[in-house]
Structure 1
Amino acid sequence: MARDRLIYLPLGGAGEIGMNAYVYGFGPEGKERLILVDLGIAFPDMDSTPGVDVILPDISWLRERAERLEAIFITHGHEDHLGGVGHLLPFLDAPVHARRFTANLARRKLTEKGQNPDAIRIAKPFPEMIAAGPFQVGFLPVSHSIPESSALVIDTPAGRVIHSGDFKIDRSPVVGEPFDADLWAEAAKPGVRALVCDSTNVFSKHEGRSEAEVAPNLKPLVASAKGMFVATTFASNVARLQSLAEAGKAAGRSICLMGRAMRRMTEAAVEEGLLKDFPRTVSPEDAASIPRENLMLIVTGSQGERRAASAQLARGKYFGIELAEGDTFLFSSKTIPGNEKDVARVMNDFSEMGVDVVTDDDGLYHVSGHANRPDLEIVQGIVDPQIVIPMHGEHRHLREHAKLADRLGRLGVVAPNGTMLDLAGNQPRVVDHVETGRTYLDGSILVGQFDGVIRDRVRIALNGHVVVAVMVDDDDEVLEDTWVDLRGLPELTRSGQALASLMEEHLAMQLGRIDTRTAGDDEKLEDMITKGIRKVAQDEIGKRPEVTVLITRLTAE
């Protein structure tokens, strides 16, 4: 009789930062009952995903086995762990468990999408456990940069797994629960087969810093500012919002929260009792009439997002408010790798206005929400797992974290997206490789990574586009009135001639020589025209554009 398997399968988040989705399963091969940990998103960029609104994990493997899915567990409310719920939950139809604050955010997402918010169930913290098929799952509180973050204690017939979620060791996090080493030790008492662990800051060798260290630095900065003071941070960092708002209040400034995500997070935190005595705020409309030296804005857009409040202010007026020389803009945040150009663009736009831009280059105004290497070592010492499986990191992070586990006398296993591990038995085994990828939210439509939509859009952006219209009569003779239209290409060639006219002249000669067999076959005719257009473009401007050929066939009445 075949033994049961305990499988671990990352569909997103292992080998990248963002888009977290991790499957656990227990049972006979091919019949395992499943749970899903997190269902997050990643954000697009104009270089590789132009026009895309959101990037989601490809959950095709799980959708095909949705009848075996017992439940979904969300570790915390960050978009890269929660953001996919509103888009993908209808395909999975399973209950979603989360702690109260995270559940509040999840229910808002479902309501916005016209879905039933009752699918979200509120979980109490460990040691309370939730039954889900062969699993018992508990929410183990951790400190992070958003309240009520949790690791998961996952009990299975093959042993206990602890899934860390995002965490840091912070014993004074301002808002939310401090790291509780005793509670973690209690969770580890039965023995832990595997620790599946955050790897984001594995290369940072200094000890992590507490959120409480930021507030004392903010107050003198805000107090010394002469004009308007504006700060941006991650909207989900409720503790930082509290510290910033208190610094503004202490300086005698009116506080305005600007940006939908900022207001949504604050409202949820107040509703759940996490934010108490938050300074009174004014609306953006009222803020426009307050003297600038008496005003503090706390705005979204710490990563330079074009539609967020920071970028809007950098481009000019926003809600009637305009920054000017002598104002101060603080980035109380870290720039996520890949966002450097967007952030620099916003900074430079402010600089051109005469705004003083303050960053966290000196480590005064931001602390990370992720565990540095010393924190990882401490947690491994508390949990003492047999196996360490790094997650939440690029491949280099996973590999370095596995090396760290090996040096500490434990077995580190690198399992990037699509790698299915069996954790039952004496040694973890790779038992399958699942095709994983991305799903794009493009407008209101979900588009597969290999559907060609985004690929074609990138090609057009890189190469330009030529539309060619030809007419063919009922005798399969191509008429002379061939028409060319250019998009994203220069109108004139190096010699100053009109590119479209050169293409039309080339086609006139080319089409005047073809036989009726080619003219009568749409595929052959399109191929010939495409090659001709690309040859002219290559010769004249050094580009090979995308070509669309419109063939109209005339028939005698």
Structure 2
Amino acid sequence: MAQLDQSNNVEKLTPGDGDLWFLPLGGTGEIGMNMNLLGHAGDWIMVDCGVTFDETLSPDTHKTFSVVAADPKFISRQRESLKAIIITHAHEDHLGALPFLWPRLKAPVYASPFAAEVLRRKLSQHGLESKVPINVIALRERFTVGAFTLEFLPITHSIPEAQSLLIETSVGKLLHTADWKIDHDPVVGEPFDEGLYQGLAKENILALLCDSTNALKPGASLSESICYRGILRQVDAVEGRIVVSCFSSNLARLITVARVAEAIGRRFALLGRSLRNMYAIAKQTGYWPEELVPIDEQHLGYLPANEVFAIATGSQGEERAALNRLSLDTYPALSLERGDRIVMSSFLIPGNERLVERMLDRFKARNISVIESAQSDTPIHASGHPCQAELADMYTWVQPLVAVPLHGEAEHLAANAGVAKRFGVPVQLIGENGDLYELAPRQRIHYAKVTTGRIPLVE
């Protein structure tokens, strides 16, 4: 199975014609920083190349790095066998590391039109736009890279053109869900197509590689569309300034919040470069409603308090983001006062609790009210990931032989595997980054086969 490359003393794994392997370098045993490898017949492909934010890599120095990625050392040292980098959707934890790591990987990139445009803008900031070959793939389009034939299947999430991957090899088919949920009213894009996934039962899927982020939660996730009424109820009676914070990459939420501003008769401004960039991309690709036009943030300071409405980055307490600077009263274009309101239309990523608590305490000390999604009596956030009922549906429809939970911490992976077992999936494989999952010819895990780690990209 494994060959040792003595020239650099690094283990080089080469899959044979009868092998089908899954090797996560990031995103399995943790949430975020997704980087997955699939190997077959001498070839490797990478699915996603993401980042995580504000991590302390050295407990000795306590130095925090603002952008961190999975270490691609294993595959970069045999990059001649890496045939493609496939991007499932345009969220940072799935594509954000590519501009930093592509010079080490140098493989062609495949992405949907929306994700491709996000990538082009990122690559241009690194002087790489003309150097990285990006192959734009339409939904339901089939394409072949090395020993793999792939098809993008549309799936609902919180960003346009999210897709799962149907992956065909000579020894079996895989379905990689990437991030998903069942949403029949997703705000952006088409509703979830149950018939498409029900039809996969006829495809004899060997393994289903599935998002585990919400596997601990019973029931089903909320539709993105439900957030409109929830946020509206939290702001419609506010007489002071309103700031709503959400993930800049959650385009559906940005549109929802902009519609709330319109409904209460306020113009809105976008605070933060990433928000303005996402707005520009959505407008260019036809996903932004023409009637929703932001104002320049510089105009906010001239408006009476009861006309101010801002959408801000920084829901995770990031030091340089707009919301944290507002809490410190150091944001140049806007200052908040007693009677203003902050609405946190996002979930709290594990590990960010202290950063967010300190930021929100600063607002509260200034008598600025804060509405957090976990304490709100109306739904102001909807997750983009499947809960247990949705996982059960997917396993029932696809009927794979093997369940491979990914995108979650250990308890999430175990909960996902438990759902798979209850709904008839014969084999469940639970591992973590660096484990080699053998999917064919047998189904087993070779634990700690590859050394993995994290590398800083931006201090």
Where relative contact order (Cα < 8 A, 6+ residues apart) is larger, the structure is: 2
Specify whether residues 172 and 357 from structure 1 end up closer, same or farther in structure 2 by C-alpha distance, changes over 3 A only. Answer: same
Rounded Cα–Cα distance in structure 2 between residues aligned with 1:219 and 1:60: 48
Letter in 2 for 1:123: I
Match of 1:427 in 2: 443
The one-letter amino acid of 1:422's match is: E
Equivalent in 420, 429, 439 of residue 413 of structure 1: 429
Answer whether contact 1:242 1:278 (CA < 8 A) is retained: no
- Provide the C-alpha distance between the structure 1 equivalents of 2:291 and 2:169, rounded to a whole number of angstroms: 42
Deviations 1:229-255 (A, max 9, x none): 110011111111111111111211121
Q: Provide the residue aligned with 1:198 in structure 2.
A: 211
Q: How does 1:89-238 map to 2 (within 5 A)?
A: 89-117=102-130, 119-126=133-140, 128-238=141-251
Distance of aligned partners of 1:437 and 1:339 in 2 relative to their CA distance in 1, 3 Å threshold: same
- Residue 98 of structure 1 aligns with an amino acid whose one-letter code is A
Distance 1:36 1:188 in 2: 25
Alignment of 1:406-555 (within 5 A): 406-410=421-425, 411-430=427-446, 433-443=449-459
**Contact 1:284-1:319 within 8 A present in 2 as well:** no
Q: Which runs of 4+ in 1 moved over 6 A?
A: none
What CA RMSD, in Å, does the superposition of the two structures yield over aligned residues?
Answer: 1.7
SS at match of 1:189: helix
Alpha-carbon distance in 2 for matches of 1:13, 1:391: 7
> C-alpha distance in 2, partners of 1:3/1:320?
60
TM-score, structure 2 normalization: 0.92
- Partners of 2:119 and 2:337 lie apart in 1 by 38
Q: Are 2:28 and 1:14 equivalent residues in the alignment?
A: yes
Spell out, residue by residue over 1:46-74, the C-alpha distance to the aligned partner (whole angstroms, 9 max, x if none).
Answer: 58451423111111110111001111101
| Match in the other structure for 1:80 | 93
The CA distance in 2 between the partners of 1:3 and 1:230, in whole Å, is 56
Return the alpha-carbon distance in structure 1 between the equivalents of residues 116 and 17 of structure 2.
Answer: 37
1:288 aligns with 2:301: yes
Once structures 1 and 2 are overlaid, which stretch shifts more, 304-313 or 434-443?
Answer: 434-443
Query: Structure 1: how far apart are the matches of 2:94 and 2:378?
Result: 27
Matched, 1:35 2:20: no
Q: CA deviation at 1:114?
A: 0.6
SS in 2 for 1:262: helix
* Partner amino acid, structure 2, of 1:430: H
Q: Is 1:368 aligned to 2:378, yes or no?
A: no
1:388 aligns with 2:403: yes
Tell me by how many angstroms 1:44 deviates.
2.5
- Provide the C-alpha distance between the structure 2 equivalents of 1:278 and 1:114, rounded to a whole number of angstroms: 34
Contact 1:151 1:165 in 2 (8 A): yes
1:279 corresponds to which of 273, 276, 292: 292
Which of 260, 263, 271 is residue 250 of structure 1 equivalent to? 263
Please say if residues 401 and 412 of structure 1, whose CA atoms lie closer than 8 Å, have aligned partners that are also in contact.
no
Q: Distance in 2 between matches of 1:336 and 1:79?
A: 14
After superposition, the Cα gap between the structure-2 partners of 1:104 and 1:3, relative to the gap in structure 1 and judged at 3 Å, is closer
Which residue number corresponds to residue 550 of structure 1? none
TM-score, normalised by the number of residues in structure 1: 0.76
Change over 3 Å in CA distance of 1:219–1:431 after alignment to 2? closer
Contact kept in structure 1, 2:437 and 2:443, CA below 8 Å: no
Q: CA 1:211/1:431 → structure 2, altered by over 3 Å: closer, same or farther? A: closer
Residue 102 of structure 1 deviates from its aligned partner by 0.9
CA distance in 2, matches of 1:85, 1:234: 20
Distance 1:313 1:246 in 2: 23
Q: What residue identity is the alignment partner of 2:70?
A: P
* Residue type at the aligned position of 2:45: I
**How many residues are treated as equivalent by the alignment?**
438
User: Quick one: which amino acid aligns to residue 18 of structure 2?
Assistant: D
Which structure 1 residue ranges, 5 or more long, are not aligned? 444-557
Q: Are the counterparts in 2 of residues 148 and 177 from structure 1 also a CA contact under 8 Å?
A: no
1:400 Cα shift?
A: 2.2
Residues 422 and 431 of structure 1 are in contact (CA less than 8 Å); yes or no, is this contact kept in structure 2?
Answer: no
For 2:10, the equivalent position in structure 1 comes to none
* Structure 1 position 298 matched with structure 2 position 311: yes
Does the 8 A contact of 2:431 with 2:445 survive in 1? no
The answer to which of 395-404 and 63-72 deviates more is 395-404
Give 3-state SS (helix, strand or coil) of 2:302's partner.
coil
Deviation at 1:285, TM superposition (A): 1.2
Select the structure of larger CA radius of gyration. Answer: 1
Taking the TM superposition and a 5 Å limit, the aligned residue runs for 1:52-67 are 52-67=65-80
Distance in 1, Cα, partners of 2:365 & 2:448: 55
- What amino acid is aligned across from residue 415 of structure 1 in structure 2? G
Aligned-residue offset at 1:397: 1.3
1:442 to partner: Cα distance: 4.8
- Mapped partners of 1:45, 1:424: distance in 2: 36
Match of 2:412 among 397, 417, 435: 397
Report if the CA contact (8 A) 1:288-1:319 is conserved. Answer: no
How big is each residue's C-alpha offset from its partner over 1:366-404, in whole Å with a ceiling of 9 and x where there is no partner?
A: 111100011000001111100000000011211222222
Identity across aligned pairs (percent)?
A: 37
